[in-house]
Amino acid sequence: MGVQGHPVCRTPRTVGPDRSRLSRSAAATYAGRVTDPVWTTLATTDHEQVAVCHDRATGLRAVIALHSTALGPGLGGTRFHPYAGLHDALADVLRLSRAMSYKTAVAGLDHGGGKAVIIGDPATDKTADLLRAYGRFVESLAGRYVTACDVGTYVADMDVVAQTTRWATGRSTQNGGAGDSSVLTAYGVFQGMQAAAAHVWGAPSLAGRRVGIAGVGKVGRLLAGHLLADRAEVVVTDPDAAAVAALAARHPEVATSPDVTALTGLDLDVYSPCALGGALDAATVERLRARVVCGGANNQLAREGPGGTAERLRERGITYCPDYLVNAGGVIQVSEELRGFDLERARAATRAIHDHTSQVLRTADEQQVTPAAAADRIAEQRMASGRDTIWLPGNAPGEVPTRRR
């Protein structure tokens, strides 16, 4: 692991059913010889590159992870969160960046998966100098990682980060960006939800359906607006009372629930987790009465893979829309900034989430697998068609990255 921002470079790997993951046995052997959890995690990950960043002057501590650049430079937001320590931050950024590889692949983008986390409380630790220091670390990767907003970071923050790097998207329109990426994230989740409604109930509408939204921050608040315009009944919860109050002031017809436990126990048609990851734990899945799960949060499944959460949802007859499939509107929006942002072009690309979701749900039924497994297969097949070596800088800022076919 690098210090002072020097990256750890791992053996390139290609995702796909016919490609082997290189040096897995060697990594496992090495991991058995060390006891530090950070080193153990790094020794067993299949990520291409991990950069640990520290700036003494501002107190910045961050981790940037690139999972795969088989399809192009890694794209993903910057999360600012008060992690308990480096190991927790590392585990989160590895999980998030891997999900971004699948998200960009299934969305049809010529990008790989990347993510960054800044360790600290954004309410007290975030400063302009710290964000500029972070931007310099992003710039040091020379375009292999393109950043954007995430939990704890906003458009105004990306404007500051962009002062020291060419590779910050999600900037304000005044600074050449597309603005808040949550706009198309929410729109994409709504498209996926309509596709799920058509799959389950036969019509692509939420009219008359009861939808519970957990988390009414940037994405959940906008999603509520789409649902109300579609004549759905909306119930929300959020530990941030101010966020709930702001939504209620704008949409007084929205009902509220005291917490997630109460919300998921209601007689819902759709449950939409729109806050942090891990929303679909075992207790929540058993409590759910909804027929559909479709939300904007990342990494919703508490347990992935065979025997995991997705399989239990399927056993219970609950249609799960994979999170990275339906919440790809934001990454579509920020990727458009690299080629000159056009809102209508970005909205058209985001509307395709409806068809992508329909395809995944149909394929899952045909193959008798979970929608999560069906989406993974589609993403992995596309990544396997990409390059065999890591993506290296060679495209000027603003050009669409070109991948070898």
Domains, the chain, with CATH or none? 7-175 (3.40.50.10860), 182-330+342-375 (3.40.50.720)
Confidence bin at 33 (pLDDT 50/70/90): low
C-alpha to C-alpha distance for 291 and 201, rounded to whole angstroms: 10
Name the band, by pLDDT with cuts 50, 70 and 90, for residue 218.
confident
Range of lowest pLDDT (203-212, 272-281, 335-344)? 335-344
Q: Please tell me the predicted confidence (pLDDT) of residue 19.
A: 37
Distance CA 187, CA 209 (A): 18
Q: How confident is the model at residue 339 (pLDDT cuts 50, 70, 90)?
A: confident
Q: What is the mean pLDDT of residues 141-163?
A: 95
Mean pLDDT of the chain: 88
Q: Tell me which of 371 and 405 has the higher pLDDT.
A: 371
Structure confidence at residue 42 (pLDDT): 76
Q: Say if CB 167 and CB 114 are below 8 A apart.
A: no
Q: Which of 103, 115, 126, 218 is catalytic?
A: 115
Q: Which helix (H) or strand (E) holds 83?
A: none
Assess whether 115 carries a catalytic annotation.
Answer: yes
Q: Is there a contact between 137 and 66 (Cβ–Cβ < 8 Å)?
A: no
* pLDDT score for 394: 67
Query: Are the C-beta atoms of residues 317 and 325 closer than 8 Å to each other?
Result: no
Residue 398 has pLDDT above 50, yes or no: no
How long, in residues, is the chain?
405
Contacts of 37 (CB under 8 A, 6+ apart): 87
- For CA atoms 390, 396, 401, 404, the dihedral sign is negative
How confident is the model over 62-72, as a mean pLDDT?
Answer: 96
Cα–Cα dist 119/383, whole Å: 30
Lowest mean pLDDT among 126-135, 163-172, 290-299, 388-397: 388-397
| pLDDT reading at 243 higher than 80 | yes
